[in-house]
Amino acid sequence: MSLLPPRPQPSDVFASSLPWRVSAALVGLLTSSCLVCGCATTGEAGETLARKRGPSVAVRSAPARAACPSSRNAVVVDTNSHDLRLCLRGQATARYKVALGHGGMGKRREGDAKTPLGRYRLGLPRASVDGFHRFIPVGYPSAAQRSKGYTGGAVGIHGPNRSARFAGSAANTAADWTLGCVAVGSDGEIEAIEAWVRKHRVRDVVLR
Structural domain includes residue 145: yes
Does residue 123 carry a pLDDT above 50? yes
Number of domain units in the chain:
1
pLDDT cut 70: percent of the chain above it:
69
Does residue 44 carry a pLDDT above 70? no
pLDDT band at 32 (very low <50, low <70, confident <90, very high): very low
- pLDDT attached to residue 39: 33
The arithmetic mean of pLDDT across residues 118-141, rounded, is 97
pLDDT band at 56 (very low <50, low <70, confident <90, very high): low
How much is the mean pLDDT over the chain? 79
Structural domain includes residue 14: no
Q: In what order do the strands lie in the sheet with 74-78?
A: 118-121, 204-207, 74-78, 83-88, 91-99, 182-184, 156-158, 134-137, 126-127
Structural domain includes residue 12: no
- SS3 sequence of 29-46: HHHHHHHHCCCCCCHHHH
pLDDT band at 71 (very low <50, low <70, confident <90, very high): confident
The arithmetic mean of pLDDT across residues 188-202, rounded, is 98
Query: Whole domain around residue 58: which residue ranges?
Result: 24-207
CATH code of the domain containing 111: 2.40.440.10
- pLDDT attached to residue 65: 66
Does residue 142 carry a pLDDT above 70? yes
Structural domain includes residue 42: yes
Structural domain includes residue 152: yes
Q: Give 97-108 pLDDT, tens digit per residue.
A: 999 999 999 999
Q: How many CA atoms lie within 13 A of 126 on its CB side?
A: 12
Structural domain includes residue 4: no
The arithmetic mean of pLDDT across residues 121-126, rounded, is 98
Structural domain includes residue 1: no
- pLDDT attached to residue 59: 54
- pLDDT attached to residue 128: 96
The answer to whether the beta carbons of residues 51 and 34 sit under 8 Å apart is yes
- pLDDT attached to residue 33: 40
The arithmetic mean of pLDDT across residues 43-51, rounded, is 44
Does residue 26 carry a pLDDT above 90? no
Does residue 121 carry a pLDDT above 80? yes
Q: Give 165-191 pLDDT, tens digit per residue.
A: 899 999 999 999 999 999 999 999 999
Structural domain includes residue 40: yes
